């Protein structure tokens, strides 16, 4: 019984390793207007730093395209009773994602987005009283979702970069500077 369990576990690990190794590269690339992103040839120098994109760039990574339309920094609360904690500010990003896959995919801001500053501090999504369109939800094949995501950061935070990655089996991220 123990031998069978060990063999089953090893076979499962081998399948996962093959799936990861055979998957597409998820290197983020900028898509020029009217152009499809070209497949990654794997010829890039892995020691080079990742490209950092800017607001307004259409970026392709794996089965996703992401576009940060605009950033509001600081975001002023429309509710006098709800706002960022003392010493903090809200930063809002108007983001659109497109699912290039042939199957529906889930967009989760908690799983796919992270905000980091120039001192490598990470910030979470803020709960606000604002009535913004939500980015979270299922995205149909070739479909898109657009919404506003708000982060709470210290007043002193600078060099903000959004990290986008929705592929469970990849460590690649699209980096988009808010500056």
Quick: pLDDT tens for 123-152: 989 989 899 999 999 999 999 999 999 999
Please give the model's pTM, rounded to 2 decimal places.
0.75
Q: Residue 71 carries which DSSP code?
A: E
Per-residue pLDDT tens over the stretch 58-71: 999 999 999 999 99
Tens digits of residue pLDDT in 50-96: 899 999 999 999 999 999 999 999 999 998 899 999 999 999 999 99
Please name the fold of domain 25-33+48-177: Immunoglobulin-like (2.60.40)
- CA–CA dist 89, 52 (Å, integer): 24
Place of tokens 């935070």: 157
Domain ranges of the chain: 25-33+48-177
């Amino acid at each position: 019984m123990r031998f069978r369990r060990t063999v089953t576990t090893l076979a499962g690990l081998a399948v996962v390793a093959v799936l990861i190794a055979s998957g597409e590269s998820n290197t983020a690339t900028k898509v020029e207007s009217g152009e499809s992103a070209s497949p990654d040839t794997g010829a890039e120098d892995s020691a080079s730093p990742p490209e950092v994109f800017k607001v307004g760039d259409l970026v392709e990574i794996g089965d996703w395209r992401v576009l940060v339309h605009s950033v509001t920094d600081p975001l002023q609360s429309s509710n006098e009773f709800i706002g960022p904690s003392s010493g903090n500010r809200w930063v809002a990003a108007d983001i659109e994602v497109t699912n290039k896959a042939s199957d529906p995919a889930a967009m989760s801001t908690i799983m796919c987005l992270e905000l980091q500053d120039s001192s490598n501090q990470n910030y979470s999504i803020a709960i606000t009283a604002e009535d913004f369109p939500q980015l979270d939800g299922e995205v149909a094949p070739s479909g898109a979702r657009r919404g506003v995501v708000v982060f709470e950061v210290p007043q002193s935070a600078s060099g903000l970069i959004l990290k986008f990655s929705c592929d469970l089996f990849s460590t690649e991220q699209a980096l988009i500077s808010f500056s």
